[in-house]
Amino acid sequence: MNRRELLAVAGMLGLAPTLARAAGQGGDATAARDAYLYTLPLIEMATARERILKIPGAAINTLRHTRTLSDHTARWVTTPNNDTLYSPAFLDLTKGPVTLTIPPMGKRYYSAAVMDMFTNNNVVLSTRTVGGEGGTFTLVGPGQASTGPNPTRIATPHAWLLIRTLTDGGDDLDATHKSQDGFKLTGPAGAPTATYANRDAKPADYFAAARALLASDPAPPTDQRILRRTGAFLGDGSFDEAAAAAGVEQARTIAVFAKDRMVFTGGWSYPRANLGDYGQDYLYRAIVAQQGLGALPVAEAMYMKAAGDNGAGVFTGDGLYRLTLPAQLPLDGFWSLSMYEATADGQFFFTDNPLKRYAIGDRTAGLKRNADATLDLWIGRTDPGGERTPNWLPAPKAGPFAMYLRAYLPRAEFLDGRFRLPAIVKA
C-alpha cells in the first residue's frame, strides 16, 4: 500500500491525525506498520490452525466435520451462519499433493474453498464451478509435480480447506451428514506445526513469528516491493524496537477504527469486488483476516450488513422493524437474514429466542408472502402476532443487535450494484 492509498483510507476512517503523528516518528515506524498489516493474515491463519488442531481428533490433512448448525450457545467465532455445516482441514503440501474427492451432491449447495496462508481463495470447488456431479481434485503445492486428476495449484506449501454444506437442519441433518461423509481427503501425513505469536503479542514476538511464517510460506514474487520496504522487520537482522512498537500501534489503531467504519449505501454495507482474492490490497486483506477470516469471493457469496439505527451497523430500538424484499432476489443460490446480539467487545452472536430461529430466508418454512409475491420480514423483540408471526425474526430481549444478509451465487446485477437491497425501516 503506497502513501496515497493509505492516506485515502485514513481519511475515510478518520485516522489522519494518527498518521500525522506517525510521520514524526520516521520511516521505520511506517515500515513496521506496513509489515504488521502485510503479515496479519499469516498470523491469523496460524492462530486458527493452532486452535482447530487442539480439538480432539483434529489433524493436518484430515477433514473434521461439524454436525450441527450454530445456535445461541456457539461462541467460538463471531457472526456464525445458520445455513451450512463446516468441514475444515489445514493442509501441509510439503511432502506431496493431497487429493480431495467431492461426492455427487445433486442440488444441495456446497463449496470447498482452498485458501493459501495469505487468505486468498486459490480455488473454490463448488456448485457454481464444479456442479452437482462432484469429482476428484489434486491439490498441488509450489514447485511440485502431480500426475493426479485435475491438478490444482496452491500458492503456498500450507493452506486451509474449508467446506460448506447446505442444510435445512432438523430432519435434513441425517442426509447432510451423509453428504459430508462423501468428501474424502487423502495424502501424506502432515508434519507437526509450530506455535506462533498472535496479533496481540509484543512487537518483537510478533515480527519473529511473521518472519518464521514467511520462511514456511514464502510471499509471491509480486510482493517484492513491499518486502523490500519492510525488510528491516520481515527480513534477517535486528530492528529498532521503538520504531516497531510505534508502527504496530499505528497498525492496530487502523484495524480497530476500520472495524466500526463501514460504508453504507441505501441502508446496507456491501463487500468489495476483491473480497477473498485480494491481490496487493494488503490493508483490506488484513482487516478481513481479523474480522471475517475465511470469507468467500463475492462470486460465491455476498455478505451485507444492515446500517442500523445509528448508521454504523447496530440497532437499539424496542419497536418493530420491517424489511420488504422483492419476490425474487437476483441470485442462483439462496439467501438468509441472520440476527445477532452485539457484545461489549464488538462481536456478534446468535441470540436465544422462543422460536429458536436465528436466521430467516428463502428456505424458511411457512413464510407468508404478499399478493404481489413480495415478502415482508418483521423484526423485533416481541412477537408481532397474527399473520406476521411466520415472518418474524426475533431480536434480543434487550441490548443492541445487528443483522447480516447473505446471498449465495449472486447474479451480475447484484455483483455490479445495479440491484440494491431495500433498507430495513421502523414499522
Q: Is the pLDDT of residue 257 over 80?
A: no
Rg (the chain; Cα; Å): 22
pLDDT of 260 reads 57
8-state DSSP, 334: -
Using one digit for the tens of pLDDT, what is the confidence trace for 383-417?
Answer: 999 999 999 999 999 999 999 999 999 999 999 99
Taking a C-beta distance cutoff of 8 angstroms, is the pair 3, 174 a contact? no
Q: Look up the pTM and report it.
A: 0.89
Q: Is the pLDDT of residue 281 over 90?
A: yes
pLDDT of 21 reads 45
End-to-end CA distance of the chain: 44
pLDDT of 94 reads 95
Using one digit for the tens of pLDDT, what is the confidence trace for 6-27?
Answer: 544 444 444 444 444 444 445 6
Burial of 99 (0-12, 13-18, 19+ CB in 10 A): middle
pLDDT of 23 reads 44
Distance between CA atoms of residues 240 and 35, nearest Å: 13
- For the range 241-244, what are the long-range contacts, defined as Cβ-Cβ under 8 Å and sequence gap of 24 or more? 241/203, 241/204, 243/25, 243/26, 243/28, 243/29, 243/31, 243/32, 244/28, 244/32, 244/203, 244/204, 244/207
Q: Cβ atoms within 10 A of the Cβ of 330, count?
A: 14
Taking a C-beta distance cutoff of 8 angstroms, is the pair 268, 307 a contact? yes
Q: How far is CA 179 from the centre of its chain?
A: 23
Q: Is the pLDDT of residue 161 over 80?
A: yes
- The residue ranking higher by pLDDT, 345 or 427, is 427
Q: Is 396 helix (H, G, I), strand (E, B) or coil?
A: coil
Average pLDDT of span 51-62 = 91
Distance between CA atoms of residues 351 and 426, nearest Å: 21
Distance between CA atoms of residues 139 and 148, nearest Å: 9
For cell 434487550, what's the residue? 398
Q: Is the pLDDT of residue 50 over 90?
A: yes
For cell 447480516, what's the residue? 404
Percent pLDDT > 90 in the chain is: 81
* Residues 6 or more apart in contact with residue 164 via CB below 8 angstroms: 84, 85, 86, 87, 109, 110, 111, 113
Average pLDDT of span 182-191 = 92
Alpha helices in 122-185 (DSSP H): 173-181
Which grid cell sits at 1?
500500500
Q: 395: alpha, beta or left, given left = phi > 0 and alpha = psi -120 to 50?
A: beta
Distance between CA atoms of residues 217 and 94, nearest Å: 10
Read off the pLDDT band of 138 (50, 70, 90).
very high
